[in-house]
Structure 1
Amino acid sequence: MTDLTTERPGRLDYVPVQHGALKNAEILPMSLRSVHFVMPGGVDDPTAPSGGNAYDRRVSLDLAAFGWQVHKHAVAGSWPRPGAPARTELTRTLRDLPDDTIVLIDGLVACGVPEIVVPETQRLRIVVLVHLPLGDERGLEPAVAADLDTRERTVLRAVPAVVATSDWAVRRLVSHHGLAPERVHVATPGADIAPLASGTDGVSRLLCVAAVTPRKGQHRLIEALAGATELPWSCVCVGGITQDPEYVAHLRMLIKKYGLQDRLHLVGPQAGAQLDASYAAADLMVLTSYAETYGMAVTEALARGIPVLATDVGGVAEAVGRAPDGGVPGILVPPEDPAALAAELRGWFGEADVRRRLKAAARGRRAALDGWATTARSLAGVLGRLPSEPRRAA
């Protein structure tokens, strides 16, 4: 990490600016306010990467540039349905904070346990950061999904502020849970501009970056590719493979069934230079999710000038966005139409003009992406506008 600390002899009221927080190094006053950030225990686990974890880690660093000292509390547990030890740890963590403390809680932790969180809203100033509405997760039993949905509604209605990661997610939370619009705010994920991807041959290397879970829908990608074996594609799926072993086994069965073992690879999670290399070799990003509040993998690809082919769900269209000249750097297909995905792949391979247009738009979008400073600034604004004290019980 680049050190952008600036020293001023005789002055003690300056703090370093984290790399990536601002476009240029700035010297900021040390009169920092404090926020306690409660997040899942696996937030730093490299074997289980997620967009939510990456977001939490990054804003924890970048909030300092906007006047906030972050105290991290990572609570281990099977969130959002924790066992007794995790419940006890969360209860203790919140109970030990002084009255009027500003607390930011990841929605994965907060929204499943209203019996723990809601009573604390009487003395703590709590903001909930929703990465994905709990009921939108795939693979849940209907009764479980309904229960989580009700629990989430109870929590979000009790806190003074909610933060979502896209305009679409804000609208979804307001309408679905009946929240007051003025209490729901957006802090869109940022992106770090990276070197332009060199690709493989400009067309054939497909890359999917997503945890291997039912919500990410990799089985739909496999089925679409199985229907386009005449095309010279290869595909690398990067993402954690421990969250749902049964689903991973199903995908491996499909890959074998369709004879794609030499062309489609589930390589597990990647980070750092290894992930950079996968992006650098990619010609097209593919994402076949059933639900996304935004889609950070989309902007990570666009930050390298890689066009995107994705299902049109949730906030994905926001993540794809437009280049300054109006060009669209991706293709969105209906989520329940596997044939459309295969058809667009054929268009990508067969029409050079389509590829040129998408690549030009991706490079234009790359230059216009907001960085994480914008995310941290938005979040800092929400924290700074909280009521001066929580509601007190009558």
Structure 2
Amino acid sequence: MKQAGPIWFLIPGDLATPTGGYRYDRRIIDGLRRLGRHVRTERLDDSFPEPTADALADADRRLAIIPDGDLVIIDGLAFGLLGDVAALHARRLRLIALVHHPLALETGIFAARAEALRMSESRALAVARRVVVTSAATADILIRDYGVPKERIRVVEPGTDPAPLAAGSDESVLNLLCVAATTPRKGHDILLRALAPLVDRPWRLDCVGSLTRCTRTSIALRCLSERLGLSDRVNFAGAVDEPRLDVFYHRADLFVLPTRFEGYGMVLTEALARGLPIVSTGIGPIPNLVPADAGLLVEPDDPAALEVALARVLDDAGLRRSLAAGARSARARLGGWDAASAELGCVLEGVHDG
């Protein structure tokens, strides 16, 4: 077993990008360094997950200069498109794929593109020594749909930072909070349609998250908000820094995530860390993250069901208090980032040469 060389992290684009996947990478890297591991990061081209020929050639060059036997972790946003390139280096490097969620399961792509991504990712994962995923639900998908042997998969769940309990509003107008980039997968359109019939209730919604990841979706959501008569109730705040995000969390009364799919859902555990009641969808890992006494979960893509759940929480102060108590109970069981980094470190120690 080789322990001497550095751990290489290959990440497409800017590591500081404010998404859950990039935040996971940042915190794991920081944690490994605190544990005394030598971690080197390499930035792959920004074009992933639609890599240009130059981007693939650049990835090949970067892998070629890494010494034989070194550990190389490649973020899944790139790894799934690097099948041929990864195969060239798989015998001499200890390649680890870090899969936040399968690329083919992104919402809003054509069926032919989804199938091409599934096939590409399957080829790439076949040459990885280990496949690290952030939830057991994603592990099940890779085993069932991508042919990854169970014994090559390891689950390393994200950590959660301790946070003060949310203060909320004075409840004359309830503050709803959704933290997610405005992409089709996150389901903001479903949330707006669910809230439209509830304008007789006193609420406002802050949508915090990048408005530039999918500009077309952001424009469509603003138009939908106007068409539904919600413009004075809904604030599209865009991406914000951590102190500003803390302010949004602190003044929230209810956390809402109408997502169509999640590999994990870090914002949900962040909401639990603040003792916030949750309304979300019961897909993937979310039922395991959000206890039944802390949130109401509905089917994705069902604005009527989401409307009913939101109405229940908006109308019943006792239910809000009960769900908040459940969230505070779950808060005590959340793991930290140091533990997550140590767990990944153990995974890496088990990746042998040859």
TM-score (norm. length: structure 1): 0.86
Match of 1:108 among 77, 95, 102: 77
Is residue 343 from structure 1 mapped to residue 308 from structure 2 by the alignment?
yes
* Structure 2: unaligned runs, 5 residues or longer: none
**8 Å contact from structure 2 (residues 74, 96) kept in 1:** yes
In the TM superposition, what are the counterparts of 1:203-222 in structure 2 within 5 Å?
204-222=174-192
**8 Å contact from structure 1 (residues 79, 109) kept in 2:** yes
Alignment correspondent of 1:266:
236
Partners in 1 of 2:83 and 2:170 — Cα distance?
52
Is residue 281 from structure 1 mapped to residue 251 from structure 2 by the alignment?
yes
Partners in 2 of 1:265 and 1:340 — Cα distance?
23
Query: RMSD in angstroms over aligned alpha carbons?
Result: 1.4
Is residue 307 from structure 1 mapped to residue 277 from structure 2 by the alignment?
yes
User: What are the superposed Cα offsets for residues 4-40 of structure 1, whole Å, 9 maximum, x if unpaired?
Assistant: xxxxxxxxxxxxxxxxxxxxxxxxxxx9752101112
Tell me the amino acid that sits aligned with residue 283 of structure 1.
Answer: D
Alignment correspondent of 1:164:
133
Q: Could you tell me how far 1:112 is from its partner in structure 2?
A: 1.2
Tell me the amino acid that sits aligned with residue 300 of structure 1.
Answer: E
Partners in 1 of 2:177 and 2:262 — Cα distance?
18
**8 Å contact from structure 2 (residues 83, 125) kept in 1:** no
Partners in 2 of 1:160 and 1:32 — Cα distance?
18
**8 Å contact from structure 2 (residues 190, 301) kept in 1:** no
More helix by share: 2
* Structure 1: unaligned runs, 5 residues or longer: 1-30
Partners in 1 of 2:46 and 2:78 — Cα distance?
9
Partners in 2 of 1:184 and 1:364 — Cα distance?
30
Tell me the amino acid that sits aligned with residue 318 of structure 2.
Answer: D
Alignment correspondent of 2:347:
382
Q: Could you tell me how far 1:338 is from its partner in structure 2?
A: 1.2
In the TM superposition, what are the counterparts of 1:169-208 in structure 2 within 5 Å?
169-202=138-171, 204-208=174-178
Alignment correspondent of 2:16:
44
Tell me the amino acid that sits aligned with residue 151 of structure 1.
Answer: S
Alignment correspondent of 1:329:
294
Percentage of matched positions with identical amino acids: 39
Q: Could you tell me how far 1:63 is from its partner in structure 2?
A: 1.1
Partners in 2 of 1:305 and 1:193 — Cα distance?
11
**8 Å contact from structure 1 (residues 191, 372) kept in 2:** yes
Q: Could you tell me how far 1:87 is from its partner in structure 2?
A: 1.7
Alignment correspondent of 2:25:
56
**8 Å contact from structure 2 (residues 133, 157) kept in 1:** yes
SS of 1:112 mapped into structure 2:
coil
Is residue 291 from structure 1 mapped to residue 256 from structure 2 by the alignment?
no
**8 Å contact from structure 2 (residues 254, 279) kept in 1:** yes
Is residue 243 from structure 1 mapped to residue 213 from structure 2 by the alignment?
yes
Match of 1:153 among 107, 114, 122: 122
Partners in 1 of 2:334 and 2:134 — Cα distance?
15
SS of 1:318 mapped into structure 2:
helix
SS of 1:227 mapped into structure 2:
helix
* Equivalent pairs, count: 351
Is residue 232 from structure 1 mapped to residue 232 from structure 2 by the alignment?
no
TM-score (norm. length: structure 2): 0.96
User: What are the superposed Cα offsets for residues 89-139 of structure 1, whole Å, 9 maximum, x if unpaired?
Assistant: 211110110111110110111111211112211110010000010100011
Partners in 1 of 2:34 and 2:320 — Cα distance?
39
**8 Å contact from structure 1 (residues 33, 68) kept in 2:** no
Partners in 2 of 1:241 and 1:32 — Cα distance?
43
**8 Å contact from structure 1 (residues 207, 236) kept in 2:** yes
Partners in 2 of 1:42 and 1:234 — Cα distance?
33
SS of 1:240 mapped into structure 2:
coil
Moved over 6 A (4+): none
